[in-house]
Amino acid sequence: MSHPSPPHQPTQIVFGMPTPAEVVAGTALELRSQPVPPPGWTPPWTREEDEEEEEELELPTEPMTVNMGPSHPAMHGTVRIVLTVEGETVRAADVQVGYLHRCFEKEAEAATWTQIFPYTDRLNYVSPLLNNVGYALAVEKLLGITDRIPERAQYIRVIVGEMSRITDHLTCLGASAAEVGALTVFFWMIKAREWLWELIEELTGARLTNSYVRIGGVAADLTPDFAPRLRDLIRRVRQTLGEVESLLVKNRIFRDRMDGVACFSPQEAVAWGWTGPCLRSTGVPYDVRKDHPYLVYDRFDFDVPVGSRGDNYDRFAVRMEEMRQSMRILEQAIEQIPPGPVQIDDPRISLPPKREVYNTIEGMINHFKLIVDGIKVPAGEVYSYTEGGNGELGFYIVSDGTGRPYKCRVRPPSFILMQSLHKLIVGGGIADVIPTFGMINMIGGECDR
């Protein structure tokens, strides 16, 4: 449509060099001057009619199906989310897992009780020592030797477990921050994780696949300078956490993706089986270490942080605070740790020292029987649970009295968290999917087993 012309517009506007006739007539200047707009006249491109016209033009918003994953850089591990979007809003979501399934249970049924430790390393592969400890406690409960584990071994399990919890949370928060653009935070947190893994590597011989815990204790004693190195490490990690917090807490981009996004109520969280930092972010103070103390957790003074709104920011804040509480536990544990053996003194369970294996016939036979036949676990069933990186890490094991488990089921916290992911992302924007997913902290190895 054409806009009405302003009043007093000259009938003719002439461009170009003045002609001799115009110069003679004295109209050359008048014909080329811009018309002076009267007061109140606005150029057509700023008129309101234009805006109205643009508002009438609406984008077609038919529901569209978008595949997020399975191979997506922000998908920790491999998971596929089929989103039905309307514009920028997620209307429906179907979360599909299983791409990393590698038959943990089936393999475990064919392995001896000790051979399962390497499989547990690969469950939650950013905190493998917590899985080691959880599995060892389950077998020990069925063996009935929970009270006979040497104290020093229990302290070492707490120490390596809390170090793993810190690496777990560092990875989760660092990766989530990187996904919303805060790449510096990622580098700093991964640097701190690396310090922890260097110390773990010195102790266990591996960064990720530690297999350090044994049924009846741990594989080896702490290295001689472990305590001073751990104290120095805690100081540096604390400093890093402070720096990271100063980058994130007042960061508008980060807060926009975290505050009030993907809220979950405590009632819903319990109904959907949430545990761990995600449950605590909704305000339910359930922590296995406090509510059902195992190992020596009842001897430490630490707090269980809880959130109030159950949104992404609470999940972030709970994890930040949990790392600080883990460092408190570490400081107390390294003070209290008593000297002594790190393996139970029972030839039916722990391997004899190498000196005996190579020099005595009894030692060699004992070693051979334990390696080939495995530890004989009495028949029965048991469910044992610990606080893993993502929540209650349970092992339900059934034994038929032989050296191999009849069934070895792991209760994977992130698998159970993932089934309610669609509740969190439906109704939000596409841009909120990745931060929400990051704060759930699904670990592919644990979710798919």
Partner 1 sequence: MAKADLDKLVATFPEAIVATHSHCGDETAVVLPSHLSEIMRWLKESGGFDLLVDLTAVDYLGRDPRFEVVYHLRSMQTGNRLRIKVQIGEIEGGPPPEVDSVVSIWPAANWMEREVWDLYGIRFAGHPDLRRVLLYEEFVGHPLRKDYPKERRQPLVRRENLLP
- Residues within the interface to partner 1 (CB under 8 A): 65, 67, 82, 94, 97-98, 101, 103, 105-107, 109-110, 141-142, 144, 270-273, 284, 286, 291-292, 380-383, 385, 392, 394, 396, 398, 406-407, 409, 411, 415-416, 418-420, 448-449
Two tokens, residue 25: 């007539």
**Phi, psi angle pair for 161, to nearest 5°:** -65, -45
* H or E stretch at 166: helix 151-179
Tell me the CB-side half-sphere exposure of residue 190, using CA atoms within 13 A: 11
- Helix, strand, or coil (residue 259): coil
- What is the nearest approach in angstroms of partner 1 to the Cβ of residue 103? 7
- The nearest distance, CB 65 to partner 1, in angstroms, is 6
**Residue 187 or residue 383: which is nearer to partner 1 going by CB?**
383
Q: Rounded to the nearest whole angstrom, what is the least distance from the CB of residue 332 to partner 1 in the complex? A: 24
Shortest Å distance, C-beta 271 to partner 1: 5
Count of CA atoms in the C-beta half-sphere (13 A) of 425: 28
Instruction: Mark 231-250 as b/e (b = at least 16 C-beta within 10 Å).
Output: eebbeebeebbeebeeebee
Which CB, 222 or 382, lies closer to partner 1? 382
305/363 with CB nearer partner 1: 305
CB of 85 to partner 1, least distance (A): 14
Q: Which residue has the tokens 């791409």?
A: 99
The CB-side HSE value for 248 (13 A sphere, CA atoms) comes to: 29
CB of 270 to partner 1, least distance (A): 5
Q: How far is the CB of 106 from partner 1 (least distance, A)?
A: 6
Cβ closer to partner 1: 253 or 271? 271
> Do residues 437 and 75 touch, judged by C-beta distance below 8 A?
yes
Contact 88, 429 (CB under 8 A): yes
Please report how many Cα atoms fall inside a 13 Å half-sphere around the Cα of residue 412, on the Cβ side: 24
Q: By the 8 A CB rule, do 187 and 104 touch?
A: no
Contact in structure between 140 and 215 (CB atoms under 8 Å): yes
| Nearest CB to partner 1, comparing residues 363 and 389 | 389
Residue 85 is which amino acid? Answer: V
* Pair 430, 66: CB distance under 8 Å: yes
In the complex with partner 1, which residue's Cβ is closer, 69 or 363? 69
Contacts of 360 (CB under 8 A, 6+ apart): none
Tell the smallest beta-carbon distance from residue 125 to partner 1 (Å).
Answer: 17
Least gap, CB of 263 to partner 1 (angstroms): 17
Q: How many CB atoms lie within 10 A of CB 273?
A: 16
- Cα atoms in the Cβ-side hemisphere of radius 13 Å centred on 366: 18
The percent helix, strand, coil of the chain (3-state, each to 5) is 50, 10, 40
CA-to-CA separations, 121 to 111, 132, 144, in angstroms, rounded:
15, 7, 24
Nearer to partner 1, 226 or 406 (CB): 406
Q: How far apart are CA 146 and CA 157, in angstroms?
A: 13
CB of residue 334 to partner 1, shortest distance in Å: 30
Nearer to partner 1, 212 or 286 (CB): 286
> Between residues 247 and 398, which has the closer beta carbon with respect to partner 1?
398
Please, which residue, 169 or 411, has the CB nearer to partner 1? 411
Residues counted in the chain: 449
